[in-house]
Chains A and B, each alone.
Chain A
């Protein structure tokens, strides 16, 4: 009986040799169905310690006054109000705009590139392109900022060679920063979309063509609807990546493009503002809420993708 059961469950591990283990012993060690979740407990403990505690501290701090203030920590909504007013609000809106715009551009540009890479007949090109995308997707931060400054900054090689400044070029602006972000966002999109594009069966395209569909109709009625959840998933990933980016922007544009991550850094560490730490925590909670909202839009759609691309 037990052999059949194990096989049915798909267990391919060899049974104990000799068959001396009694069924009774096995029974004793088997957890009741209701207690199977215990196996996930270490992960839960880890999640609670690493994510839960820090998130809890953040939320608690966001709603209290600094402990170092006279009178100690008291509950207050002032941090939140401050985080949603004036320059903080402007930075939050700016962050959302920058992330949305750069993620959108990266998605639109990344899709055809990923398609070209995936359908390429040259295996070596495909491998090289994907490996390159893997590297570029992780290039960011200060080195990337300085690469852009050296190339396109005020005294950059291209800027001076082509006198770009007289044509109105300014790297230290919203669009300059978007350009820098695209440098790592597009490769990230290619990496995210490649598996989904691999999942598009060639038969579907042939079937569509046999039924008289044009390439345009195939893309709008078959491919894109199937890819939509992956595209949206990629967009969410890109949005998050741009939304949480800090070092690139800090090194490249300073405060001329206000971003929420830089506001947090200014409040937490600096030579000027004293006792702004709890406002920074409130800004952190704002960021979590924005990220959560974007995720909430994407999650129901994710389920649909399983139907076709699993």
Chain B
């Protein structure tokens, strides 16, 4: 009967379609890894390409830069991107602005050789070190490489710190009678249900650093983060800890009247929130001073290798560094620029005063790893119901 024939034919069709689907899966990664600009991809400095002008020309020819996880309200990235686009006529794509460091590494690793792979990343230092270890990063010496302090760059130039800041306490002066300025203040009963972090410290870098800072404020050390966990457990017990993840939106609604976050973010929010009638005050707690830098790196198989290198040159030029500074972040070249007289003094004066003349120590990689393990193990217990 025809019926049976139809059935068999449709069966054969489905099998063919299924088989084609499988074959198609196997073909997706057939892109050329080096692309057309093999020379830029191998360049470890602007000189390799014949100087800055040649780099600019090569980058303009590519015309595009893939970035990931750069929120416009984070350290003035909005203006940085706009300035770069205007200056060089290169389109900057920002994928998933709110992604985390691990997402950035995943995007590079999983899209090896594809046009959609990010060209550059801005990640927590531990992630830069881990990505370099996984052989995901291209070495490149920006012109200012030698001016970056020694402890803040990879010897092989696969990553270097870009900007950083201090853990700070932001506070809605309209809702809070007296804004807290130290970790000790936070335990005051008047702050019931008001003190929020930006996320879970096992996930959010600023929250993890807040726990570290709280540890330093409570007789802990870089080797011992436990007092920080104990502090948040006490905060929880006192009813002062607010589990809502703070964002500019929750601040504006009054849901998170006190938020512990990076000083450059809190300061940036106060500009943004002032227009909406929120008086957002920022202070760096004097009893728990902790600062950290993020790191900049180029993906090994950046689809736009010249644009990626030009982006780094731009970020580490006085112009790029001053734009970060304008966003209340402390650029890594700040001391060098202060000496050279290229620092934007007005923006620098707007930063919350740095405790201890701006000379802070950083924990070593081993100390951070140990602290992360301790926080991952102890956080849930500290603040759980």
Contacts and interface: CB of A to CB of B under 8 A. Distances in A.
A278 to B, nearest CB: 13
B242 interface: yes
A153 B194 CA distance: 12
Max chain B C-beta neighbours (<10 A), residue from A165, A172, A273? A273
Interface in A85-100: 86-87, 90-91, 94
Interface size class of B (residues with CB under 8 A): 35 or more
Contact of A265 (B203, B380, B385): B203
B1 A90 contact: no
Could you say which of A42, A153, A254, A269 has the most chain B C-beta atoms within 10 Å of its C-beta? Answer: A254
Interface in B317-345: none
A149 B245 CA distance: 12
B31 interface: no
Given A149-B255, A254-B199, A271 B124 contact: yes
Given A16-B1, A68-B133, A272-B205, A255 B381 contact: no
Given A172-B244, A254-B199, A26 B204 contact: no
A94 B245 CA distance: 21
The residue in A45, A272, A273 that gathers the most chain B C-beta atoms within 10 A of its C-beta is A272
Interface in B126-165: 126-127, 130, 133-134
Given A262-B200, A269-B100, A271-B203, A30 B4 contact: yes
Interface string A240-258: 0000000000011111111
Mostly, the B contact residues are helix
Nearest to B12: A38
Given A154-B193, A255-B379, A270 B4 contact: no
A254 B245 contact: yes
Contacts of A275: 130
A268 B15 CA distance: 36
A81 interface: no
A295 to B, nearest CB: 28
A154 B239 CA distance: 12
Given A153-B244, A174-B385, A272-B204, A165 B4 contact: no
B290 interface: no
Nearest to A70: B133
Interface of A: 2, 6, 11, 13, 15-16, 21, 26, 29-31, 38-39, 41-42, 45-46, 49, 68, 70, 86-87, 90-91, 94, 149-150, 153-155, 165, 172-174, 251-258, 262, 265-266, 268-276
